[in-house]
Amino acid sequence: MDLGSLYLKVFLGARSFKSSQLDSLANAMSVTDRLSSNSNDRYFVTKANVAAFSFGNKLLFGAGYYESLTESQRLAVAAHEFGHVLGDSGEVRKRLVAPAAVVSLLLSILAFMGTGSMVALMFVAVLGFVAAAALLSSLDSDHYLRHEMSCDKLASEFVNGKSLVEAIHVAESLQRATPKLMASLWKRLGAKVNESTKMRIDAILALKGPA
């Protein structure tokens, strides 16, 4: 188990799962070499209120979001996240995921030292990660919108764009019950109805799908 998996399991309460469908899509998109070489260590779900994002050489899905999607919508979301793995060369990880993980780790250690409770540790870890990621993404929203749209475009070359749009709408419906603190992170999958979301959806629907 590498450090990324350890963090996801201990601090975000994530569990790993295997998926032959996601592996096949990864092969088609030529991203397999950038994912964990261990097929048991590539895909995770967490009860934290997040949609989906790439975490180094892994994908992390919010359990509630993942379970609300159809198989084609899951593949569409995964294709979008594979686009992050292929396209950012670690940029998003450096600018968003890694700093959020550091904040989460430090806050959770302080919580555990103060309370001695693993429950408090996990709660603060999740809250710290989501809050830090939300703040960082909102500070550079134009950059993230451009990157989201580039990943949408790449994903639409391999999956049905309509399924990706549907997944965005699922995220929207789940976000309505999400605390405002977490709303910015959900924007990564178009969770809030705004001009940026409309731009993404219109661009996706205008793209030519896979042959």
pLDDT tens string 36-66: 999 899 999 998 778 898 888 899 999 999 9
The pLDDT score that the predictor gives to residue 92 is 59
Contact 152, 199 (CB under 8 A): no
pLDDT digits (tens, 9 = 90+) for 80-103: 999 988 875 555 556 677 777 788
This prediction's pTM: 0.78
Of 178, 183, 2, 7, nearest in space to 108 by CA: 7
Q: Where are the domains of the chain?
A: 3-71, 91-206
| 128 vs 149: CA distance, rounded Å | 27
Radius of gyration (C-alpha) of the chain in whole angstroms: 16
In angstroms, the CA 125 to CA 51 distance is: 17
Mean pLDDT across the chain: 82
